[in-house]
A and B are shown apart, each in its own frame.
Chain A
């Protein structure tokens, strides 16, 4: 068992980082592999650092402590007709804002307006020397200083511990409509994803569903416009319009990863649509399941067994395997930036 510290203020967070030679921040641990650490590492829980500290609906921004559950943020934003357009994952499962940023996980909605990197504005964090620092800003546009907030997306807590985060938000579209378009095989899926992504329809989400036999298209916008766009899409790609309840179930099942194997491994990959057919074939050969999102640019792969090579770099989110699979060796600059932010190697290496 790792030692666990549970600070309740940002000052205590900084103190916690200074108190131990080896530190890893954890939130709700919904991505268990990312919170697994060697026995000598002291875990710092952010769950005691919870709450929205500032919300300005007319600025399209909010600031919240790192341990704030996504569900609380989503509910607060929804009450003012706003949302995080990148559809953060594991919201019902209890994922925190800080854990989501560190894991670099965006959901299906990232297709239209981008992922976390496109919405993070500012971060208060504790660096490896135990200093509480604020970089970035609290306004939607800011070019002062290096963009460490963006760098922290997907940084796995290896360069600093997040205390408080500021995000941009958008008004929630008036309505949504989801289509399910069957595809014969993965090559057909790639062709459909590319054609739909380049079309005039301004699609909100564009995913290959876990059985890899259909593409889901979500439209978002004024209620009067969506059926017309949907009808046009169906003339090009046969399929069906899902009922509101079926659509809600589809997207929430994807968001909560309910399609994955219980007790298996879960991996995240970045890919291009052209790489999709080979990836799908490899996943099938391992009796796995795959959810491809962002129009064929990101994938989550669930394997019933420990993680195995998929031919592309992958990050293990769940399961016993190594943290990285097939990852290229990091450039020399990686070590230099790690030393700049964490000179005593208080946080684990990104490699482990």
Chain B
């Protein structure tokens, strides 16, 4: 996409050979990767349309090594990108050409689980679901649940303020971060927040969360844990039209209920999900709604008839409450696999992430359908209906000349529509590489200048993940390939 080809902010590394020598002095040879074959696996992330070769990939095992690496980068003016599992859908962990990739997968220790105070202290490479697994024996869980949660890391979740299906009620990652130890791009090591759920003074953890790797690298993260809900009432309802499903959401919101999750999938997403996980959805439906209540059994028992009545009144083709934990798990499996399942319908696709005011969801979906028809590009929709967070999946065939460019144009038009409607260009994937040209559609020149100043306060040299969030880095080459290798293996899914 030509708009990504803005001039580089940084001169290329002054002396790559010296940087490599210094890296070799810092880490054993087995943990400094610089051969083309070794680098290939790190050239792209969940935004598979872009790839770039870094100078080297390093594999630190301790916090001290990460600090030493960042200080080396600072001294050498060497750009660096921190990387967890590489699941970013906005290209957040795409390497910087000639820069360093610092992988954090080996900093994967859960340092402390405190069941009494309901918190965990973890290193950045810990997998999202591993936190809940460690908390589960104490009846606790870690609430943020991006679809890639079985493989994405907490460090990446913090950097991009990841969301999931439960954000309306529980917030995003940043709402669950109590404390942070981080090495900033200047080499300064800071501690923000504490083990308390309250804070004194400005909210540094809140500012750091969602920094997209532009401030530095989190080394230790203190997260709050919540008691696991005692019971769930999960309903899957099929509707003839998307509008009817949207009306059902409006009725639920207006009722005063606060469901843990409200999700909608459209016909094309249903087709993909049913093929992938053999889920059977009500036939002839243009939309499926998933609503989940949760809480103490007495509370859910009292709210369940209210929800069931609201859904019955919304004239579904069929409404299916999950009768047990297995049925609930099957409903969620279908939902969470929908994105990678779309890979069965199309060789390539872009997962878009925009937000519109909830009351305008129906209008937004109509306009997406019109734009998609006009462009001759198929578009599946999966979205967090409770918070207006759309995930249009734009299908294209990368082997067709110009197809990716046309898909990018449609994706951009959808983002512009979100901003026009008073929403946002990203609900949970971050701006990253993919949306940096659209940041200016949300913020004016003064506001962008303010964001730049904040960035420069943390990273005066502009070496931490340059080229992300702001259109000021070197553009990586566009590639044309399909699913992430881990998606093909069925290990991760996108949201």
Specify which chain B residues have a CB less than 8 angstroms from the CB of A294 in the assembled complex: 197-198
Closest residue of B by beta carbon distance from A150: B206
B451 contacts the other chain (CB 8 A):
yes
CB-based nearest B residue for A149: B206
Name the contact of B424 in the complex, choosing from A139, A268, A271, A314 (C-beta under 8 A).
A139
Provide the B232-260 mask, 1 if CB < 8 A to any CB of A, else 0: 00000000000000000010011011100
B188 proximal to A (CB < 8 A): yes
| Contact residues of B between 256 and 312, Cβ < 8 Å to A | 256-258, 295-296, 298-299, 301-303
Q: A226-255 CB contact bits vs B (8 Å, 1 = yes)?
A: 001100000000000000000000000000
Known contacts A154-B203, A221-B299, A222-B299; decide if A143 and B196 are in contact (CB<8 Å).
no
Q: How far is the CA of A270 from the CA of B34 in the complex (A)?
A: 47
Nearest CB to that of B301 among chain A residues? A225
Q: Please indicate the chain A residues that have their CB under 8 angstroms from the CB of B388 in the complex.
A: 59, 139-141
Asked whether B197 lies within 8 Å of A139 as measured between CB atoms, the reply is: no
Q: How far is the CA of A118 from the CA of B170 in the complex (A)?
A: 9
Q: Is the interface of A mostly helix, strand, loop or mixed?
A: loop
Interface stretch of the complex, out of B95-103, B120-128, B398-406, B441-449: B441-449
Contact of A332 among B188, B195, B295 (CB under 8 A): B188
Judge if B14 is at the interface, Cβ distance under 8 Å: no
List, in ascending order, chain B residues with CB within 8 A of A350's CB. Answer: 201-202
Q: Is B118 an interface residue (CB 8 A)?
A: yes
Contacts of A341 on B, CB cut-off 8 Å? 450, 453-454
CB distance from B71 to the nearest CB of A (A): 14
B interface footprint on A292-316 (CB within 8 Å = 1, 0 otherwise): 0011011000000000000001110
Specify which of B118, B168, B442 is in contact with A198 (CB 8 Å cutoff): B118
Bound: A327/B475 CA distance, A: 44
A141 pairs with B428, CB closer than 8 A: yes
Q: How far is the CA of A315 from the CA of B384 in the complex (A)?
A: 39
Contact check, B210 vs A147: say whether CB atoms are below 8 A apart.
yes
B326 at the interface (CB under 8 A from A): no
B116 within 8 A of A: yes
Q: Is A222's CB under 8 angstroms from B207's CB?
A: no
B206 — which chain A residues lie within 8 A by C-beta? 117, 147, 150-151, 153
A141 engages B384 (CB within 8 Å)? yes
Q: Considering residues B188, B191, B299, which has the most beta carbons from chain A within 10 angstroms of its beta carbon?
A: B299
Judge whether B139 is part of the interface by a CB distance below 8 angstroms: yes
B209 within 8 A of A: yes
> A333 an interface residue at 8 Å Cβ cutoff?
yes
Interface assignment of B458: CB less than 8 Å from any CB of chain A? yes
Collect the chain A residues with CB atoms within 8 Å of residue B435's CB: 144
Query: Which B residues lie within 8 Å of A145 (CB)?
Result: 431, 439, 442-443, 447, 451, 469
Across the interface, which residues of A come within 8 angstroms of B469, CB to CB? 145
Closest CB-CB distance, B182 to chain A, in whole Å?
A: 10
Q: Do residues B296 and A225 form an inter-chain contact, with CB atoms below 8 A?
A: yes
Within 8 A of B (CB), among A198-216: 198-202
Q: Is B175 an interface residue (CB 8 A)?
A: yes
Return 14 A-B CB contacts under 8 Å, by A number.
Answer: A104-B200, A135-B447, A140-B168, A144-B443, A146-B454, A153-B202, A198-B115, A198-B116, A229-B298, A270-B200, A273-B117, A297-B198, A336-B458, A337-B457
The 9 A-B pairs of least Cβ separation, nearest first, read A150-B206, A222-B302, A298-B198, A225-B298, A336-B457, A340-B453, A297-B197, A270-B198, A151-B207
List 16 additional contacts besides A268-B200, A298-B197, A341-B454; criterion CB under 8 Å.
Answer: A59-B358, A131-B450, A135-B450, A137-B442, A139-B424, A146-B210, A151-B207, A152-B202, A174-B256, A194-B116, A198-B116, A198-B140, A202-B295, A223-B302, A272-B117, A350-B201
